[in-house]
Amino acid sequence: MTILLYDLVGSDPSRPFSPHCWKARMALAHKGLEFDALPTRFTEVAEVEGGGGRTVPVIRDGDAVVQDSFAIAEYLDDTYPDRPPLFERQSGRALARFVESWSQRTLHPAIVRATILDIHAAQDDENKAFFRTKREKAFGKPLEQVQDGRTEEKRLAASKSLEPLRATLRNQPFLAGERPMFADYIVFGGFQWLRVLSTFQLLDDGDPIADWFERCLDLHGALGRQVPAAA
């Protein structure tokens, strides 16, 4: 049975943008599993699969419902062990957690500070209001003040904060080594979020991270390129 992926979109259902949903999409493709993506807006997240959850991605696979991108990846490896692994062994999962923790605290804030108005602009009117209310409450200030990361000084500082990733990718094609695994998709999700929503250029051309991102976009039948970059 085809797996169902609840996938965050804005006003254009053909442009899924959530970094976490992209992690799940790439994980499903990596496993070679068929899936249907169900476009889901911010305001619809609370109703997914009977309600109660606060975030997507969520997948339904037969009777199983799994929420959270990392939990989905673990579920897929546990449930489909004969397909290409997303993690190797127990330490592979544990170390991918460190990658997730680093990505959330380094890459994601840099993207939010540079593009939160683009995220807002991609929503329909109802979801614009929903997003603004939620995020302004969380940040304690207007979205227009949250987006303060586009100066060249701040862009360079954000890029510099990615140096641990950059140095690693100078010496190996993927974070997980010769071949991509879920650790790669964790960081890919962030850059794809940026690519789909914004024309803001965080990385310089020729950056090893930019080269790695292009390699990731080529994976699984160029799944990531099915959504054109923001223009």
State in angstroms the smallest separation of the CB of 1 from a second copy. Answer: 30
* Contact status: 93 vs a second copy (CB under 8 A): yes
Distance of CA 140 to the CA centre of its chain: 24
Task: Name which of 3 and 162 has its Cβ closer to a second copy.
Answer: 162
* Contact status: 48 vs a second copy (CB under 8 A): no
Tell me which of 95, 117, 121, 229 binds a second copy, using CB under 8 A: 95
**Whole-angstrom Cα distance, residue 84 to residue 95?**
18
- Contacts to a second copy from residues 146-205, by CB under 8 A: 163-165, 167-168, 171-172, 174-178, 181, 183
Are 215 and 176 contacting, i.e. CB atoms less than 8 angstroms apart?
no
* Contact status: 96 vs a second copy (CB under 8 A): yes
**Whole-angstrom Cα distance, residue 217 to residue 194?**
13
Task: Name which of 32 and 164 has its Cβ closer to a second copy.
Answer: 164
User: Which residues does 33 contact at the CB level (< 8 Å), separation at least 6?
Assistant: 3, 76, 80, 83
Task: Name which of 119 and 158 has its Cβ closer to a second copy.
Answer: 158
Task: Name which of 103 and 123 has its Cβ closer to a second copy.
Answer: 103
State in angstroms the smallest separation of the CB of 132 from a second copy. Answer: 27
Question: Which CA distances in Å does 82 have to 77, 175, 182?
Answer: 8, 22, 16
State in angstroms the smallest separation of the CB of 91 from a second copy. Answer: 4
State in angstroms the smallest separation of the CB of 77 from a second copy. Answer: 12
Task: Name which of 13 and 164 has its Cβ closer to a second copy.
Answer: 164
Beta bridge partners of 21: none
* Contact status: 82 vs a second copy (CB under 8 A): no
Edge-to-edge order in the sheet of strand 64-67:
35-40, 3-8, 58-61, 64-67
Task: Name which of 36 and 163 has its Cβ closer to a second copy.
Answer: 163
Please choose, out of 55-63, 84-92, 120-128, 132-140, the segment that lies near a second copy by the rule CB under 8 A: 84-92
Widest distance between CA atoms in the chain: 50
Tell me which of 83, 105, 141, 225 binds a second copy, using CB under 8 A: 105
**Whole-angstrom Cα distance, residue 155 to residue 36?**
36
220 burial class (0-12, 13-18, 19+ CB within 10 angstroms)?
middle
**Secondary structure (3-state) at 228:** coil
Residues forming contacts to a second copy in the complex (CB under 8 A) are 87-99, 101-102, 104-106, 163-165, 167-168, 171-172, 174-178, 181, 183
